[in-house]
Chain A
């Protein structure tokens, strides 16, 4: 996947994305980090083809993303967002079945057997018939992940997937995503708020500020106090913790 000289913005306001050129590495975990409003979510939308660039191109396997139909895109890219709203009571299997929609005619009824394997991957096969609302936040997020996996995508996009989870669930989810990446050669693109989380799990990181790519590189290349301080407009310090490696600490005046 490739962004080439992409510009995007609402008419009349400042551009949200400015001359953005970068490549999503195949089969790797990519994290996008930056301040709020830096354009991270917009980048994800551009990559998914849900918005089109004003100028520049977004390519998916050599094809312009806007030339693919919604269904074709859905069979390649799956999205997990930070918070999913449902308007009515849904069972776990109903949620996962929505991930199978790209593979069926619109009026089809999807069988339970078809979604069971995806629930097994996230270790929730037993909860299949339970109402979604009866699960914990972490479990719910795994259900949505199962729904995304049910799309059998090449690309898994996650928009701040850990925001509403406590630390233990965050780690669990990250471990699961790494496992999926390793076992199914899924290309993962995540927006993460937690810099340290991004540094730990990602093969590549895009550091974004005001709609521009500040730097694309590995964790080691991003671990630079000057670089991070500028991007986040906040003094940061990198400390090395024995056995755990480097951590970025954001410094705030007391």
Chain B
């Protein structure tokens, strides 16, 4: 209990401090004093940079991080597999492929990207969620990785090998996309908190849940729909950012235990923090250019995944 509370306080503090640093750092560096002056209206040029470029980007990174982390945690509950995550299961790459095809075939309409990313995600889950992959942790991951590579290759095929990248990352993100992200993200994250008890219920075998009158299939599908919604929304707005959904919930379990009603809010906060850190580092490390958050996450995530698998923390714990 105390450990939990300390963990929550620490992550909130880390998030605030990181956000302040993210506002300060960049091509132009501002001090805390300058930021304060800008806020007071004394330095309009600083205020303009911060409001138009840094703040939208910071908010986007935070909400995206929270969404990806909770999407990962929920996937892990639904598939009963600690390695499950939309980005390595091919859900997001299917979204990118569908966005590309949709963009070529149909005239533009509102929320087109979101719509096609959602369709792609659903398609990938339809291929993934069958009895065999649900029962065997390794099989799920292998099938997911294969799907991921296939979708990525198809995307490349349609772009004739040129990496146009359906995703721009956070670079140059505008308030208009940030508004969309914030609103859709908020809806998704509230749904995550509301549905958190279901993630706990799925720790029990289906037969057991059935015997206490729980509609297991509906629950599982509801949670999967939420995962697709969250990851498709992110894919449409900023592209694929890997590994947040694996790293964050697994580290969260270490700090706050195994109750999804605690893991999920904690993962949101830590995901927001991690992605903000990664994006800020990417933004300042090779000035005036930058490294995308996706690239940095892939570099950190790979080794983390290997450690996780080798320590055997990848599948559920069976008692007796």
- Interface residues in chain A, defined as those with a beta carbon under 8 Å from any beta carbon in chain B: 48, 50, 69-75, 77-79, 81, 83-91, 94, 98-99, 101-102, 106-109, 131-133, 137, 140, 151, 164
Give A131's nearest chain B residue, CB to CB: B258
* Interface residue from B197, B205, B317 paired with A109 (Cβ < 8 Å): B197
Give B198's nearest chain A residue, CB to CB: A106
Whether the pair A98, B201 counts as a contact (CB closer than 8 A) is: yes
* Interface residue from A70, A86, A107, A137 paired with B203 (Cβ < 8 Å): A86
Whether the pair B202, A140 counts as a contact (CB closer than 8 A) is: no
24 residue pairs bridging A and B, Cβ less than 8 Å apart: A48-B211, A50-B210, A72-B213, A75-B213, A83-B320, A84-B205, A84-B320, A85-B318, A85-B319, A86-B204, A86-B205, A86-B318, A88-B316, A89-B317, A91-B257, A94-B200, A98-B201, A98-B204, A98-B212, A99-B212, A107-B197, A131-B258, A137-B320, A151-B212
1/0 per residue, CB under 8 A from A, across B227-268: the answer is: 000000000000000000000000000000111010000000
Distance in angstroms between the alpha carbons of A48 and B205 in the assembled complex: 17
Q: Which residues on the B side are within 8 Å of A73 (C-beta)?
A: 213
Most buried by A among B194, B212, B214: B212
* Interface residue from B195, B197, B213, B319 paired with A86 (Cβ < 8 Å): B319
- Using known A-B contacts A88-B258, A89-B317, A101-B201, determine if residue A107 contacts B195 with beta carbons closer than 8 Å: yes
- Using known A-B contacts A86-B316, A89-B317, determine if residue A74 contacts B213 with beta carbons closer than 8 Å: yes
Distance in angstroms between the alpha carbons of A102 and B258 in the assembled complex: 23
Distance in angstroms between the alpha carbons of A84 and B316 in the assembled complex: 13
Whether the pair A87, B211 counts as a contact (CB closer than 8 A) is: no
Whether the pair B213, A69 counts as a contact (CB closer than 8 A) is: yes
Q: Which residues on the A side are within 8 Å of B320 (C-beta)?
A: 83-84, 137, 140, 164
Q: Which residues on the B side are within 8 Å of A78 (C-beta)?
A: 211-212
Distance in angstroms between the alpha carbons of A109 and B200 in the assembled complex: 11
* Interface residue from B197, B201, B213, B258 paired with A70 (Cβ < 8 Å): B213
Contacts A84-B204, A87-B80, A106-B215 aside, 8 further interface pairs with beta carbons under 8 A come to: A71-B213, A74-B213, A79-B208, A87-B203, A90-B200, A98-B209, A101-B213, A107-B197
Q: Which residues on the B side are within 8 Å of A132 (C-beta)?
A: 319
Give A157's nearest chain B residue, CB to CB: B211
Q: Which residues on the A side are within 8 Å of B212 (C-beta)?
A: 74, 78, 98-99, 101-102, 151
Most buried by B among A88, A109, A137: A88
Whether the pair A90, B198 counts as a contact (CB closer than 8 A) is: no
